[in-house]
Amino acid sequence: MQLDAVVLFFVLGLAAGILKVRLPFPGGLYQTLTLFLLLAIGLKGGAALAEHASLRIVQESLLVVGFGVVLPLLAFPLLRYVGGLNRVNAAAIAAHYGSVSVATYAVAVAVLDAAGVAYEPYFPLFVVLLEIPAIIVGLVLAKGLSAGLASRQLAHETLLSPGIVLMVGGLLIGAFAGDSLTKISPFFMDLFQGALALFLLKMGLITTEQLGALKQDGPFLTAFGIFMPLLAGGLGALLGHGLGLSVGGITLLAVLGASASYIAVPAAMRVALPQANATLSMAASLGITFPFNVLAGIPLYLLLAQWLHGS
């Protein structure tokens, strides 16, 4: 069995981190790669959205948003009553698992492209839509229905986080740029795989840093960090099958359901729930779920999608 090249870069980063090898990875490069990937995904999705815009996409989008509301509601009781976490920490982690990981999505796209599996090209729209609902649901779970977007700062962090602004901006540019998009395609499209490989190398290093946080609640969070993506990924695959998506589309919706945020949600939670233990959320989402999805989850979701599509 062959692993995709970009996944092997992640494995290299994991190995270097475990062996405590000091790789000379410039700090600013990680932020640059993040910016590049968010814009590239948005541009590609925007161009596809302009070509395939229809009422069906609107209907699918509404169901995807509903899916994003349900996921933290499933995660919360597991964290609160099975894991024994307090209300605030359970709600914060549930919000992370109701949102999405752009990096996991990018890896899934790379795997599908390498395997020659087609998928609906407007999926970046769903990535953007799934960022916000989980944050709102997480706040309601922690504070009750009166929480809402209680402050201007929280609304800003939720609706105008850098990740959302860059992806929405890329979507709009891709949708309205027309043929002029070809001028920048060699940079954003042709270099995408190489940028993703370097990004995953750094992600491997970051993942090993988070593993040390799994002490008191380590066994439960480890189990949760594997079970929850399997549950959410399975539900995402069923939703994709019900929507009549392609094998690649079913796989990507499963990946979006299975992934957990480590960019947009942490920023919002720092403002809304400063009393929450951010280390627990990051250790679970980045230390357990991200590597699980990259190394094992994505192939499993693809197999499930092929089975569902064949049935």
Q: What pLDDT is attached to residue 207? A: 83
Q: Is the residue at 154 inside a domain?
A: yes
Q: Is the residue at 20 inside a domain?
A: no
Contact yes or no for 280/221 (Cβ under 8 A): yes
Amino acid sitting at position 311:
S
**CB 19: neighbour CB atoms within 10 A?**
8
Q: What is the Cα–Cα distance from 138 to 69, expressed in whole angstroms?
A: 9
Q: What pLDDT is attached to residue 136? A: 84
CATH number, domain containing residue 253: 1.20.1530.20
Q: What pLDDT is attached to residue 146? A: 57
Q: Is the residue at 235 inside a domain?
A: yes
Amino acid sitting at position 28:
G
Q: What pLDDT is attached to residue 158? A: 61
Contact yes or no for 130/167 (Cβ under 8 A): no
Contact yes or no for 126/105 (Cβ under 8 A): no
Contact yes or no for 200/7 (Cβ under 8 A): yes
Q: What pLDDT is attached to residue 89? A: 92
Q: Is the residue at 16 inside a domain?
A: no
Q: Is the residue at 19 inside a domain?
A: no
Q: What is the Cα–Cα distance from 141 to 163, expressed in whole angstroms?
A: 24
Q: Is the residue at 22 inside a domain?
A: no
pTM (2 d.p.): 0.85
CA dihedral 224, 276, 210, 220 (to 10 degrees): -20
Q: What pLDDT is attached to residue 70? A: 97
Q: What pLDDT is attached to residue 130? A: 87
Q: Is the residue at 47 inside a domain?
A: yes
Please identify every stretch of the chain with a pLDDT value under 50, giving residue numbers as ranges. Answer: none
Domain count, the chain: 1
Q: What pLDDT is attached to residue 76? A: 97
pLDDT digit string (tens) for 84-138? 999 999 999 999 999 999 899 999 999 999 999 999 988 988 988 888 888 888 8
Q: Which two tokens stand for residue 70?
A: 């349900």
* Contacts (Cβ under 8 Å, ≥6 apart) of 159: 132, 149
Domain of residue 39: give its range. 27-309
Angle at 292 between CA 79 and CA 160, to 5 degrees: 70
Contact yes or no for 53/194 (Cβ under 8 A): no
* Contacts (Cβ under 8 Å, ≥6 apart) of 198: 9, 29, 33
Q: What pLDDT is attached to residue 112? A: 95
Amino acid sitting at position 90:
A
Q: Is the residue at 2 inside a domain?
A: no
